[in-house]
A = this chain, B = another copy of it.
Amino acid sequence: MGPMERLKMAPVVILSRPQLGENIGAAARAMANFGLSDLRLVSPRDGWPNKKAEAMAAGAAGVLESARVYPATEEAIAELNLVYATTARERGTTKEVLTPAEAAKRLRAATARGEKTALLFGNERAGLDNDEISLCDAVITIPTADFASLNLGQAVLLNAYEWFRSADETPPARIEHGPIHRKPTREELLQLFAHLERELEASGFLYPPEKHGNMVRATRATIHRARLTYQEVQTLRGMIVALAKGKHRVKKDG
């Protein structure tokens, strides 16, 4: 399976009896941001296509154009292998309840096995009914604070985000070092230390002598923590030159 085929294997998003075009558009936009493209609508209240959906989808018009409409949930899920229902609250039936992150992990695993997967969302007013939930493998509930009032577009967004995140390799933290932003070598850093300490010594800042070692070490620690680029090391040395010159000038004047 190539990367394009894998992309097509992203979960289908099914909206059951959605009411507001705005929410359908918001769902499409959320999907496109996170690599989902197959949208299915079960009897949308205001018909299809829908101008308000198009306005809200912004650049994600392609998702709306290829969306398919079905008369009933059974038909929308017919050829799929794994379907998760999203619900806001517990429903009494004894179904497995997953977090979006756990669901995304399982959807990835199913996709890797070649299964077709989907996320099923209920409408704005009533969510999914119990019959629709009974057609699904498990339920996804988004953990929230006591105030729990996510709208349809928000629920699609968070699930789409978790799907993308489950295979995303973005490093948690990074600093972009372009050609002019390379890290300094240790020698360049040691030259900075020597330059700064020489001028601080000359200025009388490193006083009294018994504290000299501690003060120098503390200053070096500060500089290390800043993780300077080569460019920033050069800028800092320029600052030291300028400030030291000023001091000498004052001395000469005085």
Q: Which residues of A contact B (CB under 8 A)?
A: 29-30, 32-35, 58-60, 90, 92, 94-99, 101-102, 105, 138, 142-145, 147-151, 154, 157-158, 161, 164-165, 168, 170-178, 181, 229, 231-232
Contacts and interface: CB of A to CB of B under 8 A. Distances in A.
Nearest to A33: B144
Contacts of A145: 32-35, 164
B102 A147 contact: no
A89 to B, nearest CB: 11
A176 to B, nearest CB: 6
A172 B90 contact: no
A32 B30 CA distance: 20
A147 B97 contact: no
A94 B181 contact: yes
A173 B98 contact: yes
B175 A97 contact: yes
A147 B98 contact: no
A162 B111 CA distance: 25
Nearest to A59: B149
Contacts of A232: 94
B158 A90 contact: no
A169 to B, nearest CB: 9
Nearest to A227: B96
A102 B172 contact: yes
Name the 9 nearest CB pairs between A and B, nearest first: A102-B172, A35-B145, A143-B170, A32-B147, A33-B144, A143-B168, A94-B181, A98-B173, A99-B172
B149 A94 contact: no
Contacts of A178: 92
Nearest to A22: B22
